[in-house]
A and B are shown apart, each in its own frame.
Chain A
Amino acid sequence: MEKISCVCGHENPFGTKICEKCGRPLSEEAKAQKVLDMRYDGTAIRSKTYNKSIIDKIWNFFSSVKVGVSLIIITLIASALGTIFPQEFYVQVATQEEKALYYKQNYGVFGELYYNLGLSDLYSSWWYQILVGLLGISIIVASLDRGLPLYKSLKNQRVKRHESFMKRQRIVAHGPVTEGDSSKTLDLIEEKMKNLRYKVRRDGNALLAEKNRFARSGPYINHLGLIIFLLGVMLRFLPGFHVDESMWIREGEVRAIPGMDGYFLENKQFILETYDNDPTRAQIEQGVAAIAKNYQTDVKLYKQAEGAVLGDTENMELVKEYSIRVNYPLKYDGYAIYQMDYRLNELKSMTFELTHKQSGESLGSMKIDLTNPEKEYVLGENTKVQILNYYPDFSGLKDGVPQTASQYPNNPAFVFKMMTPDKPEGEVSFVSIGASPIEAGENEYKMTFKGVETRNVSGLTIRKDVTIPILIIGGVIFLLGLAIGSYWNHRRLWVQQLEDGKIMLAAHTNKNWFSMKKDLDVVTEYAHLPQYIDQLEEKDEKDKEGDGAE
């Protein structure tokens, strides 16, 4: 590729704006500027230089900050759209039709539109993910595009810069020293700048004081962290990188933990505590009677014995006893088990008595375990009751057939067959809570409800996420880069002593000019330098005066 040669003789790569060696402006644009654009120190940026091949075009597209910012803004607006109505995963219904209905019912026409446009499941939509992907590509390309040349140019800085470079800095000074012997001036500057923790280099009559160059790497480090974080998030979509299961476990039960092979959990008890405070104004306004204080499941975690077959619960080893509470999950071997939900007073068992309708004589009673009912209960000689059908969550009759809404014993109903010495062939009766039994004919015996036992059920979530360390690494790098780029600034001061003893100086910082000027004030006073001016502020003043004269 052709080179640009500067008057000073240095050959610069094509696209350079400011000579790498002496600092003379090279491009027409740079020559026309009163204050040089010092971004990337005027080095050749690939995207600003080539625009021929398809690859150049793609590269330039993604490295453009305009495109980058547009992507950020589009992501921002898209994200905001997703908060207008609740997302689908917050809607507690099962089927698509129910969801559609939910949005229509609660939010009217807009809700319907929202659902139909797919905005109700926005964050997992393909286009949202592509948007984030494009953002990621843009960050990578833009960082490489600018980071590498910037690194090179900052590494090879010359002390001595040409006058045309110095004059075109934002902060400049030119003139004789204000006091004393000018031959000492550079020494004084060096001394003071070193005091201010600048690194000072000298080359004949020129001096360069520089501080915090590493701050320039801040954005590149934070972009790197961001990319690592995004990669971590993407990995999560691959199977096997994370476990997300849930389980209901009743008090007294021991169950295999879904997603956590070889482990069993025992629910010893579930505790719900509430505050006993007087209701506050907020509570009254919202009609909340009591505020929950604690949700807790006391558990025992067991591990299956080595070499045990699946589901073998013999010889299990107790590994941990713990009280799982909200905010205090049980953690073991990379897994974490969270308290998520509960059901109080689930029916555990029901007791019935087999009685003669007329005399009220009892033939014995039976206790039905509602999660695991027996087929047949023997109450005495020639006396037994069979459960022909069991509906744990009876929800009514459909075409004369009893239905159950779920597997949970919320509203148990039974079809009993009662066999007694009187009626050895048995009598059939359909029994549900709160209704009189339905019988095929006129029975002589009936099942009389005696009582129930209840217990609590705890809803737990089991999670494991191997991408978390990647996210932590990405996050830490991001914050580190952010701090470096935000809390430190790269400051430079170029000084030259001219033949006649006069001083010419120029200063630059990538941000925080206020503090740079404070440093300059100190050294100006100490080394009796001519007063510097801020060419940008001066320009503004002039513009103002111009306005006034009109």
Chain B
Amino acid sequence: MVDLVASDYVVERPARRQRRLLPLTESFPVRVTLIVIALLFLAVFLILPLVVVFSEALRLGLRAYGAALIEPHALAAIRLTLLTALIVVPLNAAFGIAAAWAITKFDFRGKNLLITLIDLPFSVSPVIGGMVFVLLFGLQGVFGPWLAAHGIKIVFAIPGIVIATLFVTLPFVARELIPLMQKQGTQQEEAALMLGANGWQTLRRVTLPNVKWSLLYGILLCNGRAIGEFGAVAVVSGHIIGLTNTMPLQVEVLYNDYAFAAAFAVASLLTLMALATLGLKTWLEWRAGTLPARTRLH
């Protein structure tokens, strides 16, 4: 088992070279091979799909591309998607701050269970995330008859889309804030309160500035998912073109109608959003000084 690596070389090379012969990294050919394998894998699975989106979107030319984007149904989809994100992101951000405050500033039993429950939507198939609201608010659902009697539509309407998106994106802000605020402890808040600040002032002037990069990070990821969510929204939307189609659903409808260029045109907007999210995310990690922030899994 023990083969003295250096011994083979000592004879012909000067002794001072001996240290470099310790096998602390792989040989040059192995390194190059591994880098090539990794880059090829990523090129096939990440870069090529990105390139395809834009190449397909522009297949019929720039004019057709622009026309596909300002088409009324596409515009309606863009509006609905932005509206959903505009409602969902602030609500889940507020929830995230409240949950992080309760969990990190106080001691109580069941805390770990609560953290697990907050993370739950990430473990559940998005299809199930949409389906539970059909079971609750659909015509055959628990509250279905009552809602129908009062003329309230949730499923196959905008409220259903909003609630399903709330479900899917609920953990994002909370899971960024909780670990950081746990690490920061309570001393600064206690000092502020002792000096006469009230709870709100403490939150606004002490806690939030301390966690602002993580908060923005969570909001960014929450927003990206809210705009791009497909499975959960597909179940509750009913695919009513121009009314309950978000951008990802519009992509599906167009694609299934063989309007490939138009589908990829809308998809290219979503792709740009995703790339912007990635860029901002890298910038935030750099700003927060946590680079590389590598524990993020969603």
Mutual binders A and B: no
Residues on A lying within 8 angstroms of B by beta carbon are none
Residues on B lying within 8 angstroms of A by beta carbon are none
